Amino acid sequence: MITFITGNKHKVIEAENIFKLFGVELEHINLGYMEPQGTLEDVAKFGAKYACQELNKSVIVEDAGLFIRALNGFPGTYSSYVQDSLGNQNILKLMDGVDDRYAEFRSVIGYCAPNSEPKVFLGRIKGQIAFEERGSFGFAYDPLFLVEEEDKTFGELTTKDKNQFSHRRNSLEKFINWYTNQRDE
Instruction: Name the site residues for ligand ITT (rule: CB under 6 A).
Output: 6-8, 11, 62-66, 79-80, 83, 105, 138-142, 154, 166, 168
Q: Is 115 annotated as a binding residue?
A: no
Residue 63 known to be catalytic: yes
Residue 86 dihedral angles phi and psi, to the nearest 5° = -90, -50
Contact 173, 22 (CB under 8 A): yes
Q: How far is the CB of 30 from ligand ITT (least distance, A)?
A: 7
| β partners of residue 72 | none
Query: What type of residue is 163?
Result: N
Name which of 17 and 80 has its Cβ closer to Na ion.
80
Residues 113-142 that bind Na ion (CB under 5 A): none
Q: Is 11 annotated as a binding residue?
A: yes
Q: How far is the CB of 125 from ligand ITT (least distance, A)?
A: 9
What is the C-alpha to C-alpha distance for residues 166 and 177, in angstroms, rounded to an integer? Answer: 16
User: With helix as H, strand as E and coil as C, how does 7-63 read?
Assistant: CCHHHHHHHHHHHHHCCCCEEEECCCCCCCCCCHHHHHHHHHHHHHHHHCCCEEEEE
Q: How far is the CB of 44 from ligand ITT (least distance, A)?
A: 9
Q: How far is the CB of 83 from ligand ITT (least distance, A)?
A: 4
| β partners of residue 111 | 60, 119
Q: Is 142 annotated as a binding residue?
A: yes
Contact 137, 159 (CB under 8 A): yes
Query: What count of residues does the chain have?
Result: 185
Name which of 10 and 57 has its Cβ closer to ligand ITT.
10
Taking each helix axis as running N to C, give the angle between helix 167-184 and helix 9-21, from 0 to 180 degrees, rounded to the nearest 10: 50
Name which of 43 and 144 has its Cβ closer to Na ion.
43
Q: Is 139 annotated as a binding residue?
A: yes
Residue 175 binding: pick among ligand ITT, Na ion, none (C-beta 5-8 Å cut-off by kind): none
Residues 64-83 that bind Na ion (CB under 5 A): 80
Residues at the binding site are 6-11, 35, 63-64, 139-142, 162, 167-168
Catalytic machinery residues: 63
